Structure 1
Amino acid sequence: MRLTHAAIRPSAEAVGITFDGRPIPALYGETLAAALSAAGELTLRYTQSGAPRGLHCGMGACFDCLVTIDGRANQRACLAKVTPGMVVERAAPAQPAPLAPPPHAQAEEVACDLLVVGAGPAGLSAAIAAAEAGCHVVALDERDAPGGQYLKPLAASHEHAAPDRQFRQGAELRARAIAAGVQFRFGATVWGGFAADEIAALVEGRNLVFRPQRLVIAAGSHERPVPIPGWTLPGVMTTGCLQTLARANRVSPGDRVVIAGNGPLNLQLACELVEGGVQVAAVLEAAPFPGFRGMRQALRLAAGAPDLAWDGARYLAVLKRAGVPVIWGARPVAAEGETRFVALHASTPRGETRIAADALALNLGFQPETGLARALGCAHRFIDSGLGRLETVTDSNGRTSLPTVFAVGDGAQVGGARIAFARGRLAGLAAARDLRPGLEDDAVSRRALARAIGFQDALWRFFAVPEFDARSLADSTLVCRCEEVSAGTLRAAMADGAASLGAVKKATRAGMGRCQGRMCGATVARIAGAAEEAGWAAPRAPLKPVPAIALAMEKPEWLEGPAVQPAPILPAHRAPATGPAEACDVLVVGGGALGLSTALYCAREGLSVILAERGEPGQGATTGNAGSLHIQLHAYDSAGAEEGPESAAAQVLAIGPASVALWREIAAEAGEGLGIRTEGGIMLVETPEQLERLVAKVAMERSFGVDSRVLGANELMSVAPYLAPGFAGAAFCAPEGQMDPLRGLSALYALVRRAGVSVRGGTTIAAVVREGAGFRAETAAGGVIRAGQLVNACGPWAGELGKMLGAPIPVQAAVQQVMVTEAASGEIMRHLVLHGSRHLSAKQGDAGHLVLGGAWPGVLDAAGRPRNLRESIEGNLFVAGTVLPALAGLQLIRAWTGLNVQVPGPILGADARVPGLHHAVTFNGWTLGPVAGRLVAEGIRGGAGAGRAFSPGRF
């Protein structure tokens, strides 16, 4: 329905749009979500499981309101503005239209004194302060006007004859910012923070890189998720979402609404709805009725901000006159409905109640948007309040642990608008003072900040609620809206051995969808027991999904990726060895796919095995890889094949198919397919000269019994019509394919434990020496393990462990990148696609997403953690775009990096220099892990093992 108001009226012409072929009346300038809500269309899409979804957050954070607009798939209805003749559909088309125009050759670089990310109260205040001090200020915001949630302006579809205080304040600040010379860039999505002076953003579809001297992050917050049964139903939305519909667009999704949660925002929304003609069934406030207990806080509120305190009293009076019950001490329990929301079940001091309504608004607090600050490496702290949250650590001016970066407003620490105004101004002045020495401090703003902090403290004491208990979530309750993961699934993963939040995510895919954990990250962290920043999932570029084609920019390539030096495996400190030593036949050091496989096959040979992993088994490159099952020789890892069929690189051809067969055996034992598909790998070439070299490569592969052949240009297009035209031909390797590394790791790990291997996560081997006929290993925690045989499966650190024993091997490390798009609406490709002269691997997973790799490099940050490079993301997407035209219609969801091994061919088997020492190290460790582990285990039992081609002795 459309709201009524004596002073607000439509000012835009009515335009016609269609939704799934049905005509919908709309107003030019309102959001698509508003037009559809006014027409009663609440179900906007269906998930892969067939569940209906609709508008939820209303601010572009949850990605639930996705629709197809004029052929462009997965557009956010809450941000898209109505245009005449717009064609909107729930389902994505088989061939989506490109999401962005072809990009320029390289990203445009924009220099400025100060870059402000976010133009809400804090960002506007910072930008104005710095600009009025003489700085060149650029402010970015994802919307089409500044103001944020608190100061959001009325949509262009309406005009207000008597705007209230918030509308007037927003207009005044916008005018002041423009007068001061602030340069606004709207429609701006910051997709990556690669350094304090390298902020990547898409601005109206164009890829820009901002190079500021100072950076203010004012990214705001999103509403805290309220995971109750039914919270994903169309018609269930956040309070901020419904307020945006009502306040900015003059629309309600129904005639009767119920509001539940905590805090004054719910009361304000209820009043705005009542004044617009909506029936508010009830407002449920989680805090207990204040009574005499609340009088002291009420007095503090009135002293700290009389105008806001008066607003609160007015809200209660308006609701009382309208007959709206305000029920204190009440909590939402479940949202009822099949295809849309129909009623709320709630617990109240008088017992459980059912309230029928057309829509439900939920707010139980806010979560800061810390993604950019965390991506840059700013220090954060865990706040153990409510659901729990991370906040950016800053000084009194908003300066973070990075001297040139400031973080202010609710995006740094949740505190409300008054605190945001004051902190924003102080940060803007501090940043300007760095560049324009001599600027005076603002004592008025500091006093205002102190008053605002006192007011906010009193406010949340007045509205105090019990802490969140993750145990209260029923197993059936969905926690991750994007991937449809329930609380029970998370708990089952933990019961199966996932000991960290990262492992829980990888085992369940929770937090890996389009919203990138915004709607579930805190809940998942609570269930997983994460109580510090290190336990939370790291932010990934892009920080929000962006059109993949918009970032596709050609970059120089290389023959061999740059090597890096990972942090030493040896701990800086270790406890003295105490207690009795444990004994085993085989100690495997390293818990990746290769170490786990070696342990598995050793145990199946009847050997007692301890596997020591300093982190959590399988949580490094094993689950960070792209899941390709490589067999044919690669452009960038097989140069040694030119040395002849006896080289280690060529000899890999003899074991690759056997390893894929072992993966199938592991899948059979696990009782599920693990996403294994071997429908062929295609290696593309662009020129006749490259095709000639491909013929020689295929001949060598066939000499090892690999089913490989050359495809000419015409045959290639008949086999793979999804490819871009113009390739000279390709090699087709029939047994190549892909699998899901997350499911594969879970299956392998379960078999290892079932075989009786004692797996020791969080166990660093600090020292190891020969002792008698075996080895004595001491752990960093002071434990002692005696083993007859030792397996070095340390991956990038294998050279370090070998050197510790006097048996160095040539192992280097490389940071390599993998990317994934959103799921396509249908099947694009069945093959694994490689490029013969460029760095690319591409495949489509079972869920429909494209996985892109090809060994594009990342870097190690100051803490030794792998990080993405912007140039690698852009270059990888450029190559993928030249191969797969369908990429133009897809969003990039995330890019990540892993620390991979660089070796001149596998190093497998006994080291003659140290009796009892065996190495298990190889590139392409995912594909080759099972067969390499079995060969090493066979050698330990006195069998033929890996043979001379892979022997450490060849060095």
Structure 2
Amino acid sequence: MSVAPDADAIIVGAGPAGMACAIELAVAGCRVIVLDMQPSPGGQIFRALETNMQARPGTDELLAALGPSYKAGLSLVTRFRAAPGIDYRPGTTVWDLRADGTVGWLKGDAAGYLRAPHIVLASGAMERPAPFPGWTLPGVMTAGAVQTLLKAGRLKPKGRIVLAGTGPLIFLLAEQLRRLGVRPALIARTDRTRDKLSALKHLRPAGLPALLKGLGWLLRLRLAGITMRTGISGLEAHGRDHLEAVSLTVAGRRIDLPCDLLVVHDGIVPSTDLAHAAGLALAWRADDASWQPVTTPDGRAEMAPGPTLTVGPCRIRITGDARRIGGADAAIAHGRHAASAILAERYPPGAADGTGIAAERSLAARPFLDVAFPPGLSSCLPDDATIVCRCEEITAGALRATIRDRATEMNLVRGLLRCGMGACQGRSCAATLARLLAEADPGKPMPSAPFRARPPLRPLPLGALAGMTGLDPDLALVESLDDKPEAIAGDDAHV
């Protein structure tokens, strides 16, 4: 690092993991900068918690519907706000990340670079993209998007609602809607009873509380008489300008339902775009159809093989759901573990603590959940007419045709079709394209990473770029080249 650090640690993300890590570091005397895109701390799980608590009693019904796990985050948010030494910067987008401890930030029309000897990436997770016919129609939303509207917008859906997919979030959202007086017409699950039976061998005593919580949601939904079907397949959304109906297959029978809102969820995967941009190693999980970062148990990241833009050791740790999906409690536990590892590195020899054991224990339910709720909507590759790249409206058929024309590498396909070059930068289509490439050549190993990443990862206004602060003078040097070669004597001289 050729310029002075701006803090002892920079944390990207103010969700459960980022807040827990920041508190531990700040209490130990570290100067911490926390960058977060959202206007208030909490991440997706505790989104808008402060404002909803402050707006009571007007939000009492909403808070009761969201449940005690949501309100339980208030103590963490309060401690985060009160901890000394935390420079919290909401509404800040990270558009560049480098393994040497450099972070590119954008807030409004201002942008710049910050540096620290320790970077903690706590950027959370995203819902697994699951292309199916009609998934781009207005009226088709993910479960996470509906929860955002509930928490931050205090909006309730209305009309004929169908929830489709798999995973605990489907049950949680359905139970929250029920408490708000919204009755889904159908919960269409892709998972089957046999998945639960197969998962029982992975159940551990420490994972029982999570299992009992899920069974409670299911029981209340059953008692409320909400129709639920398992083992569904062939989901399609229909409509001209907006969603009008859905069709699906249940027990070998095709059914059609009028529908105003289709809520889909196919599980959650780590958000890897920042890690990938920093040149960190990713590994493809075939059972999960996703990439996840390669780290040590305390979150220290590895560099991907090949050339890199930085020199020296990797200064990045990854924590929370950005490292491994586990939910709020697991994210908090691992955030503390990552902080403990940083403190042990800063103040050797470092006293042994139990944060590693707590972090591992917090993931006890994960093996059971992974088997009980396998990917469903995305388990089959989309047909040729289905859009894969939403930004550029590229269909699976167009991708397959390009692959058949010997475009057998992800970046080549991107260059030819612009797949992954839109606003999401491949977050919605990269995994599907990787699987389409594997479909064409089953013997070829899966790509070790999504599309080649380059900054800016998020839109960066030219005005912010022109006024950028915190540039490294060594990297900002510009070598000027003559516009023309020197004149050559004789008849060939340039004038």
Q: TM-score range by the shorter chain?
A: 0.7 to 0.9
Aligned equivalent of 1:464, options 374, 398, 401: 374
Q: Give deviations 1:204-258, integer Å, cap 9, x for gaps.
A: 4321311111011111111111101110011111110011112342213432211
Aligned equivalent of 2:492, options 633, 639, 646: 646
Q: Give deviations 1:522-569, integer Å, cap 9, x for gaps.
A: 111111227445463111211112323211148764422xxxxxxxxx
Q: Distance in 2 between matches of 1:489 and 1:154?
A: 44
Aligned equivalent of 1:448, options 358, 378, 400: 358
Secondary structure of 2:185's counterpart equals strand
Aligned equivalent of 2:134, options 230, 233, 241: 230
Q: Distance in 1 between matches of 2:151 and 2:321?
A: 21
Q: CA deviation at 1:344?
A: 1.7
Counterpart residue identity of residue 394, structure 1: T
Counterpart residue identity of residue 454, structure 1: A
Q: Is the 8 A contact 2:162 2:262 kept in 1?
A: yes
Paired residue for 2:451?
537
Q: CA deviation at 1:440?
A: 2.5
Change in CA separation of 1:369 and 1:293 when aligned onto 2, cut-off 3 Å: closer
Q: CA deviation at 1:152?
A: 1.6
Q: Distance in 1 between matches of 2:117 and 2:187?
A: 47
Q: Distance in 2 between matches of 1:343 and 1:196?
A: 51
Q: Is the 8 A contact 1:253 1:358 kept in 2?
A: no
Counterpart residue identity of residue 639, structure 1: P
Paired residue for 1:111?
6
Paired residue for 1:437?
348
Q: Distance in 2 between matches of 1:270 and 1:129?
A: 35
Change in CA separation of 1:546 and 1:644 when aligned onto 2, cut-off 3 Å: farther
Q: Please identify the structure whose Cα radius of gyration is greater.
A: 1
Secondary structure of 1:207's counterpart equals strand
Task: Tell me if 1:520 matches 2:441.
Answer: no
Q: Is the 8 A contact 1:154 1:249 kept in 2?
A: no
Counterpart residue identity of residue 268, structure 1: L
Q: Distance in 1 between matches of 2:413 and 2:138?
A: 28
Secondary structure of 2:187's counterpart equals strand
Change in CA separation of 1:641 and 1:467 when aligned onto 2, cut-off 3 Å: farther
Q: Distance in 1 between matches of 2:117 and 2:145?
A: 35
Q: Distance in 1 between matches of 2:68 and 2:97?
A: 36
Aligned equivalent of 1:428, options 339, 342, 345: 339
Counterpart residue identity of residue 521, structure 1: A
Q: Counterparts in 2 of 1:437-836, with a 5 A limit?
A: 437-443=348-354, 445-465=355-375, 468=378, 472-529=381-438, 531-534=445-448, 536-553=450-467, 557-560=478-481, 636-640=482-486, 646=492
Paired residue for 1:310?
212
Aligned equivalent of 1:153, options 32, 48, 61: 48
Change in CA separation of 1:533 and 1:114 when aligned onto 2, cut-off 3 Å: farther
Task: Tell me if 1:287 matches 2:196.
Answer: no
Q: Distance in 2 between matches of 1:318 and 1:129?
A: 38
Change in CA separation of 1:394 and 1:643 when aligned onto 2, cut-off 3 Å: farther
Change in CA separation of 1:332 and 1:441 when aligned onto 2, cut-off 3 Å: farther
Structural RMSD (CA) = 2.7
Q: Is the 8 A contact 1:263 1:463 kept in 2?
A: yes
Change in CA separation of 1:281 and 1:434 when aligned onto 2, cut-off 3 Å: same
Secondary structure of 1:551's counterpart equals helix
Q: Give deviations 1:891-934, integer Å, cap 9, x for gaps.
A: xxxxxxxxxxxxxxxxxxxxxxxxxxxxxxxxxxxxxxxxxxxx
Paired residue for 2:324?
413
Counterpart residue identity of residue 340, structure 1: H
Change in CA separation of 1:403 and 1:514 when aligned onto 2, cut-off 3 Å: closer
Paired residue for 1:136?
31
Change in CA separation of 1:232 and 1:400 when aligned onto 2, cut-off 3 Å: same
Counterpart residue identity of residue 300, structure 2: R
Change in CA separation of 1:332 and 1:273 when aligned onto 2, cut-off 3 Å: farther
Q: Distance in 1 between matches of 2:318 and 2:218?
A: 35
Change in CA separation of 1:295 and 1:375 when aligned onto 2, cut-off 3 Å: closer
Aligned equivalent of 2:93, options 189, 196, 215: 189
Normalised to the residue count of structure 1, the TM-score between the two structures is: 0.46
Secondary structure of 2:93's counterpart equals strand
Q: Distance in 2 between matches of 1:292 and 1:469?
A: 17
Q: Distance in 2 between matches of 1:516 and 1:528?
A: 18
Q: Give deviations 1:584-635, integer Å, cap 9, x for gaps.
A: xxxxxxxxxxxxxxxxxxxxxxxxxxxxxxxxxxxxxxxxxxxxxxxxxxxx
Change in CA separation of 1:549 and 1:116 when aligned onto 2, cut-off 3 Å: same
Q: Distance in 1 between matches of 2:134 and 2:425?
A: 21
Normalised to the residue count of structure 2, the TM-score between the two structures is: 0.86
Aligned equivalent of 1:320, options 217, 222, 238: 222
Q: Distance in 1 between matches of 2:195 and 2:299?
A: 37
Q: Is the 8 A contact 1:304 1:454 kept in 2?
A: yes
Change in CA separation of 1:356 and 1:115 when aligned onto 2, cut-off 3 Å: same
Paired residue for 2:305?
none
Q: Give deviations 1:417-458, integer Å, cap 9, x for gaps.
A: 333222211111111222233542331x33333333221111
Q: Distance in 1 between matches of 2:158 and 2:371?
A: 33
Task: Tell me if 1:120 matches 2:15.
Answer: yes
Task: Tell me if 1:173 matches 2:87.
Answer: no
Paired residue for 1:369?
271
Task: Tell me if 1:399 matches 2:280.
Answer: no
Q: Is the 8 A contact 1:255 1:279 kept in 2?
A: no
Q: Distance in 1 between matches of 2:98 and 2:487?
A: 37
Q: Is the 8 A contact 1:218 1:408 kept in 2?
A: yes
Change in CA separation of 1:371 and 1:296 when aligned onto 2, cut-off 3 Å: closer
Q: Distance in 2 between matches of 1:336 and 1:644?
A: 75
Q: Distance in 2 between matches of 1:478 and 1:292?
A: 32
Task: Tell me if 1:333 matches 2:235.
Answer: yes
Secondary structure of 2:94's counterpart equals strand
Paired residue for 1:746?
none
Counterpart residue identity of residue 317, structure 1: L
Change in CA separation of 1:643 and 1:338 when aligned onto 2, cut-off 3 Å: farther
Unmatched 5+ residue regions in structure 2?
A: 303-312, 439-443, 469-475
Identity rate, percent: 33
Q: Is the 8 A contact 2:165 2:377 kept in 1?
A: no
Secondary structure of 1:115's counterpart equals strand
Q: Distance in 2 between matches of 1:308 and 1:644?
A: 85
Aligned equivalent of 2:254, options 338, 352, 377: 352
Q: Is the 8 A contact 2:131 2:388 kept in 1?
A: yes
Counterpart residue identity of residue 339, structure 1: D
Paired residue for 1:735?
none
Q: Distance in 1 between matches of 2:73 and 2:376?
A: 34
Residues paired across the two proteins, number = 462
Q: Distance in 1 between matches of 2:99 and 2:491?
A: 46
Change in CA separation of 1:226 and 1:420 when aligned onto 2, cut-off 3 Å: same
Q: Give deviations 1:460-502, integer Å, cap 9, x for gaps.
A: 22223569556x4211100000001000100111122212111
Q: Distance in 2 between matches of 1:196 and 1:150?
A: 30
Q: Is the 8 A contact 2:128 2:269 kept in 1?
A: yes
Q: Is the 8 A contact 2:97 2:278 kept in 1?
A: yes
Counterpart residue identity of residue 192, structure 1: D
Counterpart residue identity of residue 222, structure 1: M
Change in CA separation of 1:367 and 1:291 when aligned onto 2, cut-off 3 Å: closer
Q: Is the 8 A contact 1:155 1:248 kept in 2?
A: no
Aligned equivalent of 2:169, options 265, 272, 287: 265
